[in-house]
Amino acid sequence: MVNQETIRKKIEDGTFSAADIPELFEVFSKILSESEGIQKNIENWNRKFNFNLGNSADFWLDVENGRLNFGMGKIENPDLIYTISEEKAIKMFTGQMDGSHLSTSGDMKFDGDLNDALKLGILNTLILGELDISPIEKEIKDKELKKTYKLTKEDNKKIKKSWAVKGDAIIKGGALLSKLTAETKNSIGLRVEENAKKYPDKLALLYKDIQYTHKEFNEMINRYSNYFLELGLKKGDIAVVFLENRPETMFIIVAMAKIGVISSLINTNQREKPLIHSITHTTGRVFIIGEELTQAFEDIKSRLDLDDEQKQKIFFLPEKGKIKTPKGYINLIEKIKDSDVGNPPTTPEIQAKDAYAYIFTSGTTGLPKAAIITNRHTLTAMTWWGDMVVGMKLDDVMYITTPIFHSNAINVAFASALSKGSAMAISRKFSASNFWDETRKFNATCFNYVGEICRYLYNQPPKPDDAENPIVKIVGNGLRNDIWLDFKKRFNISEIREFYGATEVNIPTFANIHNLDQTCGVCLSAYAIVKYNIEADEPIRNEKGFMQRIKSGDVGLLLGQIEDPDSFYMYKDSKATEKKIFRDVLKKGDMYITTGDLLRDIGYGHVQFVDRLGDTFRWKGENISTEEVEAVINTFDQIEFCSVYGVLIPNTEGRAGMVSIVKKTESEFNFKGFLNLMKKYLPHYAIPLFIRFKRELDITATLKIQKVKLKKEGYNIIDIREPTFVLLPGSSEYVTLTKEIYDGISDGKYRF
């Protein structure tokens, strides 16, 4: 009989080898035979597995009737065949890789059903939980990591317990998603109709003092659908939607989706050139403009080159009634008030592959790009977020303060609520001072966030009733480690479902399934985190020309594997898609998409977000393209060259904009005129807060401006000697960055 303690000791001290695999499975078999709880997880699940290690250590597993048999060599007629290295096989079965990572890691290949792979991974984790194995942790030398959270043996135990709870939902979710093909006739519109039928009197949408039940929500949507059907809109048409957060925004998005019309959701902060670009990037048949944004649209309407038919279909959506319907606009509320409330005939014909929204993202460079959101994208998100990650229930209320034109609101918050018929409570805009009062008003049990939201809430003066709120769980991305634990305790939040992801498809999505602290969790799709040369601003390739995966504890560039290159797309603009592709990454012929983000591997399949690379940085919850900002700055007549980049400010999220400028002459700089130009052509969050004047900008041999040094120096006036200026919070002019102001910024005196 194999000594269980001997196996445990070998795993924990790192001496376990392939030769010990038979003894390990003997222990596994004994544990499984004695555990009724684990047996229930594999009831009526009979599968054969071959593991090809490429040497004499090949082995097989046979799970049958709640029993585990094993042997060396190969078994006949296997249901699943793994091709895996000896090293990864050891990590797999000794718990050094998370259960989800086992079956989807790019380090192994398998031939068979993904759900069987997931179930085997979970079974393995449950057995290890009984054995109470925690592999030895490696010493991590990276000095930054020492300041951050590291997984512990206790965390590993939590992971194993969590898999016992979450495993069934994930397997069921995986089975459901495997049936959702591109041609499946299923859509968000159909799900809204189903919820209206199942839960007609349950609340679906709350806004200020307005409430809609699922029946009322669906009927309002149908008024818009049927009107636009009569108007002649059809599948594949585009509706330009320029509205702030309010019920009508959701009505219109779903109404158009029921017809097959794509809602092009325009960022409501955009003005002038970026706004013109976004509106003309997709050819709209109709334009729906909110009362609150009429002036912004009017300012650029003459430059949109609209044809006669488009000019006839500009709709005005009133709200407060402060302005009359402008000349040349159609009052949409008047048009739909008598429209049919019945479900349109088109909904059952919409397929999962059909696009229903364009969400604009800065990507890595240039002006905003239209990321395509399909019904399949959101239906998948419903299962992933609603069931697997957040665990939504019918009586939950999801509080949404993020802009609806962002994917965080659509594919996280809306999708989660839609999955279980939960209610959405929409706020017009995020307000740190009113936030907790609104959660109490709506009795919200969860909210979605970006890191800036959590930071703003955390920076509010503490109140005695901070912990007295109905919030149980939150889901979002960007909650920083330095406030995570205090934020969780202060506001009495049980579950923080932090994630990493992007609007674009094919970007790996990590999620904190196991509710651990200070991590964005695990990923169920194939990805690679590769070594990256910060100075050269490019991935490191070895002598054979391939990139290299990082070791546990290190930081690298996250790439997402493209499984089906022939059908791959990301943006409406194919050239923009091509810019994000790497080929021959880990082997000849493979294809990966770059995220432009640095992540840290913290073990057990878990990661932490570290930083954003390249020509995009994030501030006030928005991606800011340096190329876009530079294009505006370079139109100012006193500027010869400029370089825009993001800099860190203590006690804030993301990076604030800074620009280094080379002037054309030595004349006094017109700061007022410069700021007026910025306000006219850039969203407020994209206006540089710091200006540094230089005599010249360092460039590379290929004439690229060297930003690495500029970013490193930032606005640190101790290290830089050139004149530097700052736009302080609440100020309408740039002032000299003095030592006193610099110290105040460093000490958190100024609330940026």
> pLDDT by residue (tens digit) across 57-99?
688 888 888 788 888 888 888 888 878 777 777 777 776 654 4
**Residues 742, 670 share a domain:** yes
Q: What CATH code is carried by the domain that includes residue 585?
A: 2.30.38.10
The answer to whether the beta carbons of residues 328 and 588 sit under 8 Å apart is no
**Residues 355, 330 share a domain:** yes
Q: Is a pLDDT exceeding 50 seen at residue 140?
A: no
Q: What is the pLDDT of residue 365?
A: 45
Determine, yes or no, domain membership for 299.
yes
Q: What is the pLDDT of residues 353-411, one digit of tens each?
A: 999 999 987 543 456 788 899 999 999 999 999 999 999 999 999 999 999 999 899 99
Task: Provide DSSP, 4-50.
Answer: HHHHHHHHHHT---GGGHHHHHHHHHHHHHH-HHHHHHTTT--EEEE
Determine, yes or no, domain membership for 250.
yes
- Which uninterrupted H or E stretch holds 61? strand 59-64
**Residues 290, 143 share a domain:** no
Which of 560, 578, 612 is a domain's end point?
612
- Cα→Cα distances 211→202, 216, 617, Å: 10, 9, 38
**Residues 422, 294 share a domain:** yes
**Residues 324, 236 share a domain:** yes
Q: What is the pLDDT of residues 293-312, one digit of tens each?
A: 999 999 999 999 999 999 99
Q: What is the pLDDT of residues 569-579, one digit of tens each?
A: 555 556 666 77
Per-residue confidence at 146, pLDDT binned at 50, 70, 90? Answer: very low
**Residues 599, 586 share a domain:** yes
Query: How many structural domains does the chain have?
Result: 4
Q: What is the pLDDT of residues 649-700, one digit of tens each?
A: 988 888 899 999 999 889 999 999 999 999 988 889 999 999 999 998 886 4
Output the CA torsion sign for 735, 737, 741, 744: positive
Determine, yes or no, domain membership for 547.
yes
Straight-line distance from the first to the last Cα atom of the chain, in angstroms, rounded to the nearest whole number: 65
Which of 376, 406, 429 is a domain's end point?
429
- Cα→Cα distances 329→233, 250, 255, 317, Å: 18, 21, 20, 9
Determine, yes or no, domain membership for 494.
no
Q: Which two tokens stand for residue 551?
A: 């070791």
Q: Is a pLDDT exceeding 60 seen at residue 103?
A: no
Sequence-ordered list of residues with C-beta below 8 angstroms from that of 15, at least 6 positions apart, any chain: none
**Residues 395, 247 share a domain:** yes
**Residues 243, 316 share a domain:** yes
**Residues 623, 574 share a domain:** no
Q: What CATH code is carried by the domain that includes residue 11?
A: 3.30.1050.10
Q: What is the pLDDT of residues 106-119, one digit of tens each?
A: 455 667 776 677 77
Determine, yes or no, domain membership for 251.
yes
Segment 269-284 shows an average pLDDT of 90
DSSP 550: P
Tell me which residue has tokens 């008047």.
Answer: 334
Q: Is a pLDDT exceeding 50 seen at residue 702?
A: no
Q: What is the pLDDT of residue 660?
A: 96
Range of the domain at 140: 4-159
Determine, yes or no, domain membership for 482.
no
Determine, yes or no, domain membership for 217.
yes
Per-residue confidence at 582, pLDDT binned at 50, 70, 90? Answer: very high
**Residues 622, 603 share a domain:** no
Which of 366, 400, 429 is a domain's end point?
429
Determine, yes or no, domain membership for 462.
no
**Residues 127, 10 share a domain:** yes
Q: Which two tokens stand for residue 629?
A: 């900002």
**Residues 534, 676 share a domain:** no
